[in-house]
């Protein structure tokens, strides 16, 4: 993990948040290459689940929502992690992340029986387990600190802890406007915020993240068949679009006591990250929990009328949900490779071509030869016009350029040399094999 974190900072993928001021725990900034890779991941997901289907539609809901949203969904009451405090040094931790063999529902007695020592001071002197709600709260409107408590309480809102509720609150709007055939899905990508007790493990557990979620609305009597279809589609997406090996993914059927309060079945896709197995994404059967809660709180019907039979019912929901940062790290981790070329250690990101920040790197063999630079610029402009994601590099010798492009995952390096001026061919060097071939410029 340390090698990957170092690479991400050194090559401009990810920087610590507010780094110039000493950082800000649980936040990360994406640099030029990180933004490109992140966008490609999100675009591939959108293309696979939305653009290439005729039964899933996109929405983009507001981050700030009416607070009643989170009361109806149960987040105000139940969106909490087990917090434990060391009585010696006053450090606070998420209990199930510092002790082995316990779950989120751990009790104080169960935690104390693990005889876990404080990661900071090494003592074993713990306070009771307390539930810590992870939603970030804020005030909406022109409310000043010295305003009365009642007025301040009425102004409280939350940064959304998930994107799903923005989909559920728009379910009726979508049905009333485009009236899709059931089953149908609504997809959303966007920011979510969670006040993690102890953010850790790079971008695996942070306080601000991006999510990609689908709420797939189905007939209540057909949820199992639809669940299995989406299950397979998620695996196919991870393997064919993200380049992940299914052998690195463990499909965990979550026990009833460990499921979210709304779920009747959950499968966690666990990935072998460098620091161990962690959740990559989740697939949950949410029943009609959310729509029934909205109907009760709002007083508005969430019924769907079948176009063929006229039957009226509240749909049930299947939810595939994935964090972009977790998927980003899985992609980087899978692609990260160390090998040896000509007796020297080489670090290479073997990213799928559809995800690589740059498809080509164009270089003149020598940057102090105007005729080579001019020809290289010509090739660069042609490739840029055709592919878009092309980079230029004329720094250092050609070997150092190759190593740099290997580290950022560029599949092909195109080098313009003196032979190019004679026969209009260039050298193409392959990232993974390091093999080189001569190709006509017009055939690039």
pLDDT-based confidence at 17, cuts 50/70/90?
Answer: very high
223 and 313 in a single domain? The answer is yes
Which residues, at least 6 apart from 85, have a Cβ–Cβ distance to it below 8 Å?
91, 92, 93, 126, 127, 130
| 395 & 261 share domain | no
Would strands 92-94 and 130-133 be described as parallel, antiparallel, or unpaired?
unpaired
User: pLDDT-derived band of residue 47, with 50, 70 and 90 as boundaries?
Assistant: very high
**Higher local confidence (pLDDT), 37 or 131:** 37
Residues 181 and 55 occupy one common structural domain: yes
Question: How do residues 348-399 score in pLDDT, each as one tens digit?
Answer: 999 999 999 999 999 999 999 999 999 999 999 999 999 999 999 999 899 9
Predicted confidence band at 213 (pLDDT cuts at 50, 70, 90)?
A: very high
Residue 180, C-beta contacts closer than 8 angstroms, at least 6 positions apart: 55, 57, 174
Residues 6+ apart with CB under 8 A from 105: 82, 257, 258
Residue 61 lies in a domain: yes
For residue 10, the model assigns a pLDDT of 95
Q: What integer pLDDT is reported at residue 407 of this predicted model?
A: 96
Please list, residue by residue across 316-326, b when 16 or more beta carbons sit within 10 angstroms of its beta carbon and e when fewer do: bbbbbbbbbbb
What integer pLDDT is reported at residue 60 of this predicted model? 97
Residue 432 has pLDDT above 80, yes or no: yes
For the chain, give me the number of helices (H) and strands (E)?
15, 23
pLDDT tens figures, 280-323: 999 999 999 999 999 999 999 999 999 889 999 999 999 999 99
Same domain (yes/no): 193, 257: yes
pTM of the model: 0.91
pLDDT of 248 over the 70 cut: yes
- 140 vs 198: which has the higher pLDDT: 140
CATH number for the domain that contains residue 406: 3.40.50.800
- Band the pLDDT of 115: cuts 50, 70, 90: very high
* Average pLDDT of the residues of the chain: 94
Instruction: Give mean pLDDT, residues 4-32.
Output: 95
- Tell me, yes or no, whether 38 lies in a domain: yes
What CATH number did the domain enclosing 173 receive? 3.30.930.10
Q: How far apart are CA 441 and CA 375, in angstroms?
A: 11
Strands 28-30 and 14-16: antiparallel
Is there a single domain that holds both residue 366 and residue 328?
Answer: no
Residue 191, domain member (yes or no): yes
Say if residues 37 and 355 touch (Cβ distance below 8 Å).
yes
SS3 at position 285:
strand
209 and 296 both lie in a single domain: yes
Whether residues 263 and 394 fall in one domain: no
Cis peptide before 272 (omega within 30 of 0): no
Give yes or no: residues 170 and 307 share one domain: yes
Q: What is the mean pLDDT of residues 250-277?
A: 91
Question: Does the pLDDT at position 240 exceed 70?
Answer: yes
Question: How many CB atoms are closer than 10 A to CB 243?
Answer: 17
What's the pLDDT at 403? 94
C-alpha 420/C-alpha 436 separation (Å) is 15
Average confidence (pLDDT) over 344-350 = 93
Task: Please identify which residue in the block is written with the tokens 């390091």.
Answer: 434
Residue 233 has pLDDT above 80, yes or no: yes
User: Based on the domain organization, do 240 and 280 belong to the same domain?
Assistant: yes
My answer on whether 323 and 392 are in the same domain is: no
> Domain for residue 285, yes or no?
yes
Count how many domains the chain has.
2
Q: Are residues 54 and 170 in the same domain?
A: yes
At 427, the pLDDT band (50, 70, 90 cuts) reads very high
Q: pLDDT digit string (tens) for 58-76?
A: 999 999 999 999 988 888 8
In a domain, 131, yes or no: no
The per-residue pLDDT for range 128-178, each reduced to its tens digit, is: 999 998 899 888 988 776 777 778 778 889 999 999 999 999 999 999 999
Give the separation between CA 268 and CA 340, rounded to whole angstroms: 36
Q: Are residues 366 and 435 in the same domain?
A: yes
Q: Say what the pLDDT of residue 361 is.
A: 97
Assigned domain for 8 exists: no
Domain range for 390 is 358-443
Q: Residue 145: its pLDDT value, please? A: 65
- C-alpha–C-alpha distance, residues 359 and 353, integer Å: 7
Helices 324-335 and 32-46: crossing angle in degrees, nearest 10, is 110
Lowest mean pLDDT among 96-105, 107-116, 182-191: 96-105
Question: Residue 139: which H helix or E strand, with range?
Answer: strand 137-139
């Amino acid at each position: 993990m340390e090698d990957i974190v170092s690479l991400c900072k050194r090559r401009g993928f990810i920087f610590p948040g507010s780094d110039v001021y000493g950082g800000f725990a649980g936040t990360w900034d994406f640099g030029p290459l990180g933004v490109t890779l992140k966008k490609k991941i999100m675009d591939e997901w959108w293309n696979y689940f939305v653009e290439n289907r005729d039964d899933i539609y996109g929405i983009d809901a507001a981050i700030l929502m009416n607070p009643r949203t989170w009361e109806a969904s149960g987040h105000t009451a139940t969106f909490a992690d087990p917090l434990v405090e060391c009585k010696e040094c006053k450090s606070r931790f998420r209990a199930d992340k510092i002790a082995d063999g316990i779950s989120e529902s751990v009790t104080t007695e169960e935690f104390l029986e693990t005889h876990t020592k404080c990661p900071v001071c090494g003592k074993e002197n713990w306070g009771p387990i307390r539930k810590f709600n992870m939603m970030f709260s804020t005030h909406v409107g022109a409310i000043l600190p010295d305003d009365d408590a009642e007025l301040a309480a009425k102004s409280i809102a939350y940064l959304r802890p998930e994107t799903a509720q923005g989909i559920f609150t728009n379910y009726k709007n979508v049905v009333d406007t485009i009236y899709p055939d059931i089953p149908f899905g609504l997809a959303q990508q966007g920011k979510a915020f969670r006040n993690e007790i102890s953010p850790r493990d790079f971008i695996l557990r942070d306080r601000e993240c991006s999510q990609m979620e689908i709420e797939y609305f189905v007939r209540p009597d057909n949820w199992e068949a639809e669940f299995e279809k989406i299950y397979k589609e998620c695996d196919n997406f991870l393997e064919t679009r993200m380049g992940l090996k299914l052998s690195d993914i463990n499909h965990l059927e979550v026990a009833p006591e460990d499921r979210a309060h709304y779920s009747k079945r959950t499968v966690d896709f666990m990935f072998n990250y460098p620091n161990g197995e962690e959740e990559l994404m989740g697939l949950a059967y949410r029943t009609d929990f959310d729509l029934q809660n909205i109907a009760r709180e709002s007083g508005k019907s969430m019924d769907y009328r079948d176009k063929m039979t006229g039957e009226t019912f509240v749909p049930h929901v299947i939810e595939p949900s994935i964090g972009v940062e977790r998927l980003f790290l899985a992609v980087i981790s899978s692609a990260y490779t160390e090998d040896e070329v000509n007796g020297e250690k080489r670090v290479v990101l073997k990213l799928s071509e559809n995800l690589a920040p740059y498809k080509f790197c164009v270089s003149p063999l020598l940057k102090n030869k105007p005729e080579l630079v001019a020809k290289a610029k010509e090739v660069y402009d042609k490739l840029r016009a055709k592919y878009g994601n092309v980079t230029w590099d004329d720094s250092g010798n050609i070997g150092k350029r190759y190593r740099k492009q290997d580290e950022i995952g560029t599949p092909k390096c195109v080098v313009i040399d003196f032979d190019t001026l004679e026969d209009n061919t260039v050298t193409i060097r392959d990232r993974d094999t390091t093999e080189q071939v001569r190709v006509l410029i017009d055939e690039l």
